[in-house]
A and B are shown apart, each in its own frame.
Chain A
Amino acid sequence: MKQTVSNFFKIRMRIVGINIANTFNLETSYPAENWANAFSTLLYTASYVIFLNVIFGNVETLAGYSYNDMLFFSLLSQTAFYTLYTWSFDNMDNLVNSIHQGELDLLLTKPLPTLFYATTRTFSLLRLARDAFLPIAMIALLISWSDLNLSTERAIAGLIIFICGQWVLHVFQFLLILPAFWNGQSQALLRLSYTLSEPNVPLEGLTKFWRFFLLTALPVCLPVAASVSVILGRSNAVPMVIWSLFLAAVATVVRFFAWRRALLAYNSASS
């Protein structure tokens, strides 16, 4: 039977709803851990602000970015990290483990859109609220907003690049862990994907080669560095938006075909 468009979205929204509820139940099992986590992320942000202060105690600007600009950069960098952390990191980890332990069989036998389910199994809104709110609010309070060169048009363009960048980075992580289907394990690749997702360097500080490389072959600078550059008026918004939309579209197609190819290579454990 052919699936209608409304059914397509209805099923997926229902999966997301159930996964959010399951993740919430799981994460409230250790109530003290929630407070400790909030404290931990706050401490991380404090250590990062100390880091910035130490750096700016020795330099006036960093690739043309003032201390205030870098705080804004950190705000987006933290937002990008926590967003990805909420819906991508754990799902990639779960996927690698389920391939490694053969649990993927169970998932494949369910009457569900497998790729969608496998990449949204953990969806922690509690974690987003608990871990992200305090650090992001802390950085937002430190920023002198009136000193930033902001405009509504550039903010919208930055938001589009940010969303596309998140998607591209998620697909990048997804592609990195797919060798698990062939090799049975991808934990090291997963760790590598975390490492590569955190380049907190302004686009303007990169040479032409590195800028091109980190926005194309290894598009890790797209969600944060490119968004900040556009929002602060350092890069032309239109070509960057077009480029990020193009990359997001390519990532979607590649993800779909890579998943199909990987499933063909999967050695089922029980059937």
Chain B
Amino acid sequence: MLSGFARAAEPELLEPEKAFRFAARLKDARSIEVIYQIAPGYYLYRDKFRFTLGPAGVKPGEPHFPAGKKHRDEFFGEVETYRNSLSVLLPFDLGDTGVPAIQLAAESQGCADIGVCYVPYEHKAELRLASLSSGATRSDAASGVLSGMGLETDDARVARVFEGGFWLAIASFFGFGLLLSFTPCVLPMVPILSSVIVGTGRPVTKARGFLLAAVYVLGMAMTYAVAGVTAGLSGALLSVVLQNPWVLGAFAAVFVALALAMFGFYELQLPVALQSRLADASNQFHGGHTAGMFVMGVLSALILGPCVAAPLAGALLYIGQSRDVVLGGSALFAMALGMGVPLLAIGASAGALMPKAGPWMETVKRFFGTLLLGVAIYLVSPFIPVSVQMGLWAALLIVTAIYLRAIDSLPAGAHGFQRFSKGIGIVALIAGLAYLVGALSGGRDILQPLSGLRVTALGTAPYEAPFQRINSSSELDDRIQAAPGRTVMLDFYADWCVSCKEMERYTFSDERVQARFREMTLLQADVTANNAEHTALLRRFRLFGPPGIVFFDREGREIQGLRVIGFQPADRFVAVLDQALNFRR
């Protein structure tokens, strides 16, 4: 019962700091530009903004708002709201305070179209006047009074780092890079680096190994520094680009390609012409090979970029807002150095940790190939449904397990490593099976793949409700007109929509529900393809996507406020159907 409620109609809502993204910068010596990026389906009220400036003595002027959208509200009378983006100009008067910086506290309040409101939220920013000439400001997208105890995003956490001084920021970013080096993102660089160092054919000394690794890391760091400077110059654009599904998808494809190379499907090599040029160069002067390492470093930074996108986006976002080129470049340089520390360690140990290239390299390459595939799945995971994610993880884990000989029996005199690898294989196999079951049973939590089973214990055969398919807004109108005097139910469906399938399986199959279904016209819009018609249809009902069920009364008008969003158990759904059938305007 309780789990039913926990899963019931709770639409996906953005956290306030994501629904209303805030930024502030000094426009000139007398005014601040306050910017809000408002997510689609959300809006802010004009009369709810409050701007206060500190320290004492700094006086805010009358803020200048652009024209918003006006409408009459039955409670509040004439109200003006903003959608998409909003830029407010706030003049200020320093008086004779002579302060080096102004603190801005901006309070805003907004709501979402689905009929909920956010509590007033306070954003804070510090704007440095001394650096006005270079356009630098500092802002802090972290939380404010009423939501101060809310969760901080990665972005905000990174942006906060800049509150301290320059060197503190540099040190923090170095530490941040170190932390990142322990993520699966940096690990794939290890075999690339080691194969380059080990595979030179020349005996590698520790010093030379370290030098090569250092050059490689330097190349990587320079690339990030360039990214930082670009962000400083171009504003927040870069971070937006980095979080775009297409970009992440493309990088996931690169990772898959790299993984396939690791598995030996093909040989990953520089073009022969380039290779021989490099070889010539390195024969002629000592630095040739070093230059190659530098280029490798640059390339790997580009490849790794999206993998560390969340923290990187935070840093770039801040740098973009501050337009502080020096700080931006230095901070990202330091971060890349931090990320390079383990690589340096491997380089320095060239003699010790890295034996000559041999069959063992194959094992390691396959291991990293697997990791690369994992990273690819991780990259695209925000854009694909959980059940597909689970399916992918299941495939990866199970195939890996088979390669680790999880189901082959051990030879009698198996040595330690074989036993160890079989153990790992079995763990991978079981985890993979769990994910497979999760994917097939509609699990919705990637961390609890089997949670879907809890409600599936009573398996019933799927029930085919007599839905008529519609594909567009005009088709919907036709069908509603063709059913005069009947209550109409419109169900939005997509193949990837888990709760739609649960509704079909557990709720629509209930006899009480079916009895009521016979009294109404049932329409279903399958928006799996998500074409322009589908988008228009969803927009007409202000839905972002399935699940969503809308009802129309006997005159063909939508029954406002009677929507079902998300899974509903039969008991409650029957009540909703009764309400729809008995609705009289």
Q: Do A and B come from one complex?
A: no
Task: Give chain A's interface residues, CB within 8 Å of chain B.
Answer: none
B positions within 8 Å CB-CB of A: none
